[in-house]
Structure formats: structure tokens, C-alpha cells
Chains A and B, each alone.
Chain A
Amino acid sequence: MKTHSTIKTKPTPMAFHHQLVEQMVHDAKPAGMLLRPMAQWFLWLGSSLFVMAFFWMRMGVQSNLSQVMSQMPPLFFIFSAFAGAGLAAWEAISSGVPGRQTGRSYRVLAVLVLIALVSIPFLFFTHSGPLVFARDTGCVEGVSFTGLIPWIFMGWMLSRNSSFNPWWTGLWSGVSAFLMGTITIQIHCPNWEMNHVLMGHLLPAAVGTMAVSLLGSFWFSRWKK
């Protein structure tokens, strides 16, 4: 029978734990309190509506807005965009607060609303010719700019949370902010033709969302460093 010659010893868990605790306690300063998720959501909504109102005052709204909004498809389009933005904003906020993450059914609902939003132009709006990129880049720039401002505000708010999936948080924050941009421009622009709505109002929102989700993956992971 062989004998045991060496027994490997490691730092014991207790000693290790106490050492770590002392370091953490030493570093414990009063923490800035987290704004409640619902308060963050209302703050985001309020600021986005403010940005929208500001742009509408500067740019004006389409002259026959009340007439357009009396029809179901445009009304439903704007409503879906609002609902999608609100749901996406809650997903972005709650994904940064541990223990507040939404369930699968919530995410399915949000995705369904977004699918409905994209489907409405295909199903109900008039269209002429194939889908081409918008020649008039005014709406593209408008959506990008009016979406970027709410996103910056939202990003600042989200960077104070602690997201474990920054890319995901960035993605949903982008959806919410750029849909607000889409609504802002859709109320301003009188062109409800399918190609224009898809390429000039929704595509920039999608591209902007992708871009900020990449930015978000850096910005929203800074709390870990």
C-alpha cells in the first residue's frame, strides 16, 4: 500500500471569505439610490413626449392630421408604435434591475406588437412600385435625430442600472427611442405611402436600433468595471 506523501493545501474558504469581506466593507460608501423602474419609465416617457412636442412645434405637424387619424390604419400604426416603444422601454429598464426581469410572455407580446407595426404598412397603406431606399433623406435624418435624443437620455438612465446583458438592454432601448423618432416624423410627414413609411420612417429606426445596441453593450456594462 502506497502512502500519501503530499496533501495539497489551498487557502481555506473561510479565510478567503473574511479577507474579501474586509476589503468590501472598507470600500462601502453610501450608494446613490436607484430610481424605481416605474419612475424611470415615466421619466423616459415624459422626456420623450417633451422632445416630440418640441420638434412638432419647430417642424409643424401635417395639415390634415385629424382627418388622417380618423382612419383606422394610420391610427393603429401610431398606436402600435407607441405601444411598442412603451413595452420596449420597460424591457430595457427592467433588464438592468436584478430581480425585475420580464417573463417570456411579456417579450412575446412586445415582439408581436412590433410585428403588427411593420405589417400595417404592407397590409393597409397604398403603395406604388417596388421598395427602394428613400430618395428624400429628410425623413431618414429626422427619425435618426429625433430618436437619438430620447436614446441619449435613456442611455444615461440605463447606465445607472446594472444590466447583465448590455447588448439586450441596448437593443430594447434603441427600439423604444427610435420608435419615438418614427412617431415624431410620422405625425409631421404627410406621406403615408407604404414604401416611404417603411424605408423612410421604419428602416432608420431599425438601423439606429442596431447601432445603439452596439454602443449600449459598452455603455451599459461600465458598472461592472
Chain B
Amino acid sequence: MKSSRSGSKTASKKDSWDHLQWESWSQLMAKIQKGDQEAYRQFLNEIGPLLYNYVRRRVFNSEMVSDVYQEVLLTLHKARFTYEPNRPLGPWLFTVARNSILDALGKNRKFAEREVPTETLPESGAIEADGSLGDELYQALKSLSPIHRHAVELLKLRGLSLEEAAFELKISVAALKVRAHRGYEQLRKLLVEKKK
């Protein structure tokens, strides 16, 4: 009982925080429309991870994510004057994002990127089938849970910094460290078992 109460309290706190966050972005948008460059920079930096992950969830070809993200930001830039400051920002923002993703991918090939060959790991541009990674390591990495695998891939294979990888996964650096640590542990166990 107690835990469910505290759970709902946490949820309502999160909701109110989200609400405040959207309110603040909405106010920033109003300033942006008046040409406030600092507000624009702040808005884009804050909204960037959200949009990047929105794109990443919809574009399953990791090579295209950055291009599509760029397209989304540019469309947002061109359409910024159509936001009405007295209305919620979310529907406006995600309509712009969704439509520019569709435009970028081409409507005929809409979400065709969902088809990922089974031999290839999703979003693992660094893992090649040409044997550049050791077979055992490749197999072990493949058997990790997706969240741990992503953390390991970004940090160790793509060589991103902690901040960059956290930005891409839209999580805190601390949470990323935990994921990566657990990923290394699982990898170590798997490789030791295989050697035995």
C-alpha cells in the first residue's frame, strides 16, 4: 500500500515536472519567434535529445539517423513561426518531427527501415560481419540484453564519450555507467564460460 502510494506520488511529481518542462519550452518558443537567439540555443539544446531519440526510435537504419535528425531540426526551424504560444507545444513539435521524418525517408519507403536482417544487430554500425570483431566476442555481445549492448557498443565500439553516449541514449551519465558496467560483467561471464 505504502509503496503504491509513494509510486503514485513519484509519478505525479514526474508529471508535474514534465508539465513545467513543456511550459518552459513553450515560453522559450514564444521568445524564439521574437528572434531571441539565446532562447533558441537553449531550446534546441534541451529539446535535442528528445528529438534525437524520437528519430532513433523511428529510423532503424543507424546510418540515416543523423541525416533525418538534421532534417527534423531544419524543418522545425522553418516552421517555427506556425507555433501558437497559447497552445501546447507537444502536438506541434511532434507533428513537425513526424512529418519531416516521413518526408526524409520518402513516403513510399515509409518505415521500411524496420526490416533489419537477422544476421545484423539493430543499430550496431560498428559491428561488421567481416570479422573485424572476434567471433566469440561478437556472439557474446549479441547475447547481451539490448540496453546493455547499446551502452557497450556506444562506448567501446563507436568510441563515444560518456556524455555523448548518454545524450544519444537520452539517459544520465550515471545511468549509462551502470548499464555499461553491467554489460561488461555479463560479457566477461559469457566469455569465461565459453573458454571453459
Chain A positions near chain B (C-beta within 8 angstroms): 1-17, 20-22, 24-34, 36, 96-99, 101, 161-162, 164, 223-224
Asked if B81 lies at the interface with its beta carbon under 8 angstroms from chain A, I say yes
B residues less than 8 Å from A164 (CB atoms): 95, 99-100, 102-103
Q: Is the CB of B125 within 8 A of A223?
A: no
Choice from A8, A20, A22, A34 contacting B82 with Cβ under 8 Å: A34
Interface hit among B13-21, B28-36, B115-123, B182-190: B28-36
B66 touches A14 (CB 8 A): no
Given that A7-B126, A13-B66, A20-B73 are contacting pairs, would A1 and B134 also be in contact in the complex, using a CB cutoff of 8 Å?
Answer: yes
In the assembly, what is the distance between CA of A22 and CA of B40, in Å?
A: 10
Q: Tell which of A14, A25, A36 touches B41, judged by Cβ atoms closer than 8 Å.
A: A25
Are B132's CB and A98's CB within 8 A? no
On whether the beta carbons of B44 and A4 are closer than 8 Å, the reply is no
B159 near A: Cβ within 8 Å? yes
**Interchain nearest-CB distance for A8 vs B (Å):** 6
Report B87-106 residues with CB < 8 Å from chain A CB: 87-88, 91-93, 95-96, 99-100, 102-103
CB-contact partner of A2 in B78, B84, B135, under 8 A: B135
- What residues of A have a CB within 8 angstroms of the CB of B133 in the complex? 2, 4
Within 8 Å of chain A (Cβ to Cβ): is B113?
Answer: no
Contact with A along B144-172 (1 / 0, CB 8 A): 00000000000001111101100110000
Contact B82 A97 (CB under 8 A): yes
B34→A30 contact, CB < 8 A: yes
What are 8 A-to-B residue pairs whose CB atoms are below 8 Å?
A3-B134, A17-B52, A20-B70, A20-B73, A21-B41, A24-B73, A98-B82, A161-B82
Tell me whether B134 and A13 are in contact (CB under 8 A): no
Given the interface pairs A14-B164, A17-B48, A34-B84, the reply to whether A1 lies near B70 with Cβ below 8 Å is: no
- The closest CB in chain B to the CB of A5 belongs to B132
Name the one of A1, A13, A31, A101 contacting B52, with C-beta atoms under 8 angstroms: A13
Determine the distance from Cα of A123 to Cα of B92 in the docked complex, in whole angstroms.
44
B77 touches A27 (CB 8 A): yes
Q: What is the bound-complex CA distance between A161 and B133, given in angstroms? A: 51
CA distance A34 to B92 in the complex (A): 14
Known: A2-B134, A99-B92. 18 other contacts (CB 8 A): A4-B137, A7-B157, A7-B158, A10-B158, A13-B52, A13-B160, A13-B167, A16-B66, A17-B45, A17-B48, A24-B77, A28-B40, A30-B34, A31-B81, A98-B91, A99-B88, A99-B93, A162-B79
**How many residues of B are counted as interface, with CB atoms below 8 angstroms from the partner's CB atoms?**
56
| Min distance, Cβ B132 to any Cβ of chain A, angstroms | 5
B99 → chain A closest CB, angstroms? 4
Q: Which residues of B contact A34 (CB under 8 A)?
A: 81-84
Check A224 against B78 for contact (C-beta < 8 Å): yes
- CB-based contact B79/A21 at 8 Å: no
Which residues of the other chain, A, contact B12 by a CB distance below 8 angstroms?
Answer: none
Chain B, Cβ-Cβ closest to A26: B37
- Residue in chain A with minimal CB distance to B34: A30
Residues of chain B contacted by A4 (CB below 8 angstroms): 132-134, 137
In the assembled complex, the CB of A209 is this many whole angstroms from the nearest CB of chain B, namely 22
Residues of chain B in range 15-73 having any CB-CB distance to chain A below 8 Å:
32-37, 40-41, 44-45, 48, 52, 66, 69-70, 73
- Known interface pairs A1-B135, A8-B125, A17-B48; A28-B37 also in contact (CB < 8 Å): yes
Q: How far is the CB of B189 from chain A (nearest CB, A)?
A: 17
Q: Is the CB of B132 within 8 A of A6?
A: yes
